[in-house]
Amino acid sequence: MALPTSVAARTLLTITGVEVPIPDPDCLVHLQFRRFAGCPVCNLHLRSIVARHAEITAANIREVIVFHSHANELRKYTDDLPLDVIADPDRLLYREFGVESAPRALLDPRGWPAIARAVAHDLRAALRGDRPAPPSRPDGGSLGLPADFLIAPGGRVLASKHGSHVYDQWSVDELLALAPVEQLR
């Protein structure tokens, strides 16, 4: 499958009903593909995004996060995120962008430290009653691989990364390093 080098204009609807233009005519879009609602590893990564959201916004980047869960399930876990969260339970965007599911998502030892940290954090949060426990049988399964795309206002895909394991995605530093150089349309 050929990966997209440009993205046709479309409007996605967030789980809160906000319309998100892709591409965004005014800024870069960091289109992230995550796994399922309540995914501890996804939550670990998204906490790093939220912690540095002001820097990301200052770099003229809009965060758009896609999950392969239904909106009602996502709302349980993401309502407090200052990010645009998109439900794609039929994986239409996943297929379009070549984002896979594979057993190596969880079996690759490079992802295990992140899995341990994420599960420990989410378990503590669930025991304190701060958030619901992750689902035991997530929508769409648990074998999704992450992917990142940086999309210019004109629709050109400036950079992309398809993860090889569960925690193989751009860090905030990697994302910010891509942005200043590629503010082109």
Question: pTM for this structure?
Answer: 0.85
Say how far apart CA 161 and CA 164 lie, in whole Å.
9
Q: Is residue 3 part of a domain?
A: no
| pLDDT at residue 180 in the model | 65
- Please tell me whether residue 170 adopts helix, strand or coil conformation: coil
Q: Is residue 1 part of a domain?
A: no
Number of domains in the chain: 1
Closest residue by Cα to residue 49 from 15, 80, 82, 75: 82
DSSP for 37-84, written as a single string: TT-HHHHHHHHHHHHTHHHHHHTTEEEEEEESS-HHHHHHHHTT-SSE
Structure-derived torsion over alpha carbons of residues 14, 18, 22, 23, reported in degrees to the nearest 10: -140
Range of the domain at 140: 11-178
pLDDT averaged per 10 residues, the chain (length 185): 81 96 97 89 89 95 95 86 94 92 70 74 75 72 86 95 88 91 48
Q: Is residue 34 part of a domain?
A: yes
Say how far apart CA 39 and CA 53 lie, in whole Å.
20
Q: Is residue 183 part of a domain?
A: no
| pLDDT at residue 123 in the model | 75
Q: Is residue 116 part of a domain?
A: yes
| pLDDT at residue 76 in the model | 86
Q: Is residue 95 part of a domain?
A: yes
Q: Identify the CATH number of the domain in which residue 95 sits.
A: 3.40.30.10
Q: Is residue 129 part of a domain?
A: yes
Q: Is residue 4 part of a domain?
A: no
